[in-house]
Structure 1
Amino acid sequence: MRVRSTIVTGAGAGLGAAFAKAIAADGSSVLVNNRRHQDRPYPAEEVSSAIRADGGTAATDEHAVDLDGGPEAIVDAALQRFGGLDALVLNAGISGPAIKVGDGDTELRQVLEINFFANARLIEAALPHLRRSSSARIVVISSTGGLHGVRGRSAYAASKGAVTAYALSLADELRRDAIHVNVLAPYAHTKMTDRPGRAPDPRMAPEGAAAICAWLAGEACDRTGEIWVAGGGHVRAAKAMESRAAPFGPARLDALAAMPAPRGFDGGEAAFADFYQDAFGED
């Protein structure tokens, strides 16, 4: 019987490397994807070697997720090496420059190309093969910045908001195929979060968000269409919330903004139906 196989993008270091190692320890073969830079060592091979040294199965793939043909080549590499595909962990991404809107180029298009469009293309390339799996899983690595915004990182926040909404929509569409899709927003110290003069908190190592990623990507996961925030070995659920509806009036806005009796919804249609019922008392 074929061993379960998983693609982890952006897995050369940091969170991606921790995810790949945890998934391999859970019994899956792992394609460790990371773009190769000719002027520096290739870290994905170090991750793969560490997995193999611990008795796991891993191979590397150096295709960039945002290049023409990259997503298709990544999927083909997994199929050729492992004979099938069961899970995607979409971790590759960039933060973009720390620039406030109006103060310079936030590189919005470049950030969206890598953090959103490349992930969408990779999912499209993988779906025909995931549908052949008896327990297909997609884990989209996002950020709470996509829920709440990040001062000075508008491009990054926009890309994560886009990929989160895409994943939740996809989860609803793929329920009939029994493909589970979830969003993971990890908190961890990585090169992306490094700040000069600030020592990393050892409690926030990438490994602290790896166990839930491995579970979400694994056969045992029975949940879909959810957002999970993780770090330091802890996890919590997240949702976009809305207050009750009331007739418009400026005097009411402060009370509504305080979110009395907040409500979460499984999709935009459910949110609209609730609003309509709240406003008019009709279905």
Structure 2
Amino acid sequence: MLQSERVALITGAGKGLGAAFAKSLALDGCKVMVNNRSHPNTPSSAQKIATELQEQNYVADFEDSPVHEEGAATTIISNTLKRFGRLDILILNAGISGPAMKVNDQGDPKLRQIMEINFFANTALIDAALPYLRESSAGRIVFIASSAGLYGVRGRAPYAASKAALIAYAKTLADELSRTNIRVNIIAPYAATNMTSAENAAVDEDLHPSHATAAATWFARPDCHANGQVWMAGAKYFARSATIEGIGGGCVNPTPDWFGEHINALSSVENGTEFSGAEAAFAHFYKKAKQNNHN
């Protein structure tokens, strides 16, 4: 299938990274559905981006459902299908950071609100979109996560937790869909946006959102076969992030004292191993443990 026949839906695309992803995919030849929630007495940001693309002779339309509202996922997918008749690419970008505060000051309601928007809204969109992505000859899903979900970040525990959940979910989805026509990958972008400016991030032209789009656009292409990968992207620079298990070690009768004495050596991840999923990681760990116990 020609790229010009492929349809991409980008959530949270009325500004910042989402708008940059929409523009990059349009430039790459895709038909684009721009989603962003609308605000009372404010012009639709999704419509603005779609209009800009149309004025540049790209095929684009807009959809302004808030992703986290009940039934929104079905509505968003339905509106995309009504307009374009198909769905090939899903870029899940919509999300919020929430207020900065320490863990014991955040409270359960704030955590649940951020999880609802950053995690559950995305899983609902996956449920609604999968039947149509399966119909595509090359369905592609790109989750927009964050390094906060990989490493944590002070003052943003709910945000970090929501992105960590998203990464784990995306990796599991990639594993489950690995024998289908669908490929799933994750981008953790670094860019100067309204969200990061609220966190006093330095304004740097190198951190323009457009400089983080190349990886996501590549992952959306039918000739990209990468699956379940996490990539850092920003400032015209790209680096893969992976979970590595060190060589480790053991003994016949491990005690707390033994572990404490050997913790530095056991901590080394030099010549470590990367796994496709939790089952492979356990199988490898168990094999090494059995070998250790019989030496």
TM-score (norm 2): 0.91
Instruction: Give the conservation status (yes or no) of the 8 Å contact 2:10–2:18.
Output: yes
Task: Report the Cα offset of residue 197 of structure 1.
Answer: 6.7
Instruction: Give the conservation status (yes or no) of the 8 Å contact 2:192–2:201.
Output: no
3-state SS, counterpart of residue 192 of structure 1? helix
> Which one has a larger percent helix, Structure 1 or Structure 2?
2
Match of 1:207 in 2: 210
Aligned amino acid, residue 50 of structure 1: E
| Pick aligned residue for 1:63 from 56, 65, 82 | 65
Task: Report the Cα offset of residue 253 of structure 1.
Answer: 1.6
3-state SS, counterpart of residue 219 of structure 1? coil
CA distance in 1, matches of 2:200, 2:275: 42
Task: Report the Cα offset of residue 12 of structure 1.
Answer: 0.3
Task: Report the Cα offset of residue 213 of structure 1.
Answer: 1.1
CA distance in 1, matches of 2:96, 2:246: 33
Match of 1:264 in 2: 274
CA distance in 2, matches of 1:186, 1:126: 24
CA distance in 2, matches of 1:262, 1:153: 30
Match of 1:76 in 2: 78
The answer to whether the aligner puts 1:152 opposite 2:162 as a matched pair is no
CA distance in 1, matches of 2:16, 2:277: 32
Instruction: Give the conservation status (yes or no) of the 8 Å contact 2:189–2:232.
Output: yes
Match of 2:53 in 1: 51
CA distance in 2, matches of 1:113, 1:67: 9
Task: Report the Cα offset of residue 118 of structure 1.
Answer: 0.6
Match of 2:291 in 1: 281
Aligned amino acid, residue 65 of structure 2: H
CA distance in 2, matches of 1:63, 1:19: 18
CA RMSD of superposed structures (Å)? 1.7
| Pick aligned residue for 2:129 from 126, 134, 150 | 126
Instruction: Give the conservation status (yes or no) of the 8 Å contact 1:245–1:279.
Output: no
Task: Report the Cα offset of residue 199 of structure 1.
Answer: 4.7
Instruction: Give the conservation status (yes or no) of the 8 Å contact 2:102–2:154.
Output: yes
CA distance in 1, matches of 2:194, 2:267: 36
Q: Which runs of 4+ in 1 moved over 4 A?
A: 195-199
3-state SS, counterpart of residue 226 of structure 2? coil
Gaps of at least 5 residues in structure 2 are none
The answer to whether the aligner puts 1:240 opposite 2:243 as a matched pair is yes
3-state SS, counterpart of residue 75 of structure 1? helix
Deviations for 1:195-226, whole angstroms, at most 9, x for unmatched residues? 57765011011001112111111223221111
CA distance in 1, matches of 2:237, 2:149: 20
Aligned amino acid, residue 112 of structure 2: R
The answer to whether the aligner puts 1:116 opposite 2:119 as a matched pair is yes
3-state SS, counterpart of residue 101 of structure 2? coil
Match of 2:179 in 1: 176
3-state SS, counterpart of residue 271 of structure 2? coil
- Compared CA separation, residues 50 and 151, structure 1 to 2 (3 A): same
Deviations for 1:170-216, whole angstroms, at most 9, x for unmatched residues? 11111222200001111101111115776501101100111211111
The answer to whether the aligner puts 1:163 opposite 2:163 as a matched pair is no
| Pick aligned residue for 2:191 from 176, 188, 192 | 188
Instruction: Give the conservation status (yes or no) of the 8 Å contact 2:275–2:281.
Output: yes
Instruction: Give the conservation status (yes or no) of the 8 Å contact 1:244–1:275.
Output: no
CA distance in 1, matches of 2:9, 2:119: 17
Instruction: Give the conservation status (yes or no) of the 8 Å contact 1:8–1:32.
Output: yes
The structure number with the bigger radius of gyration is 2
Task: Report the Cα offset of residue 278 of structure 1.
Answer: 1.9
Match of 1:23 in 2: 25
Task: Report the Cα offset of residue 66 of structure 1.
Answer: 0.5
CA distance in 1, matches of 2:272, 2:153: 23
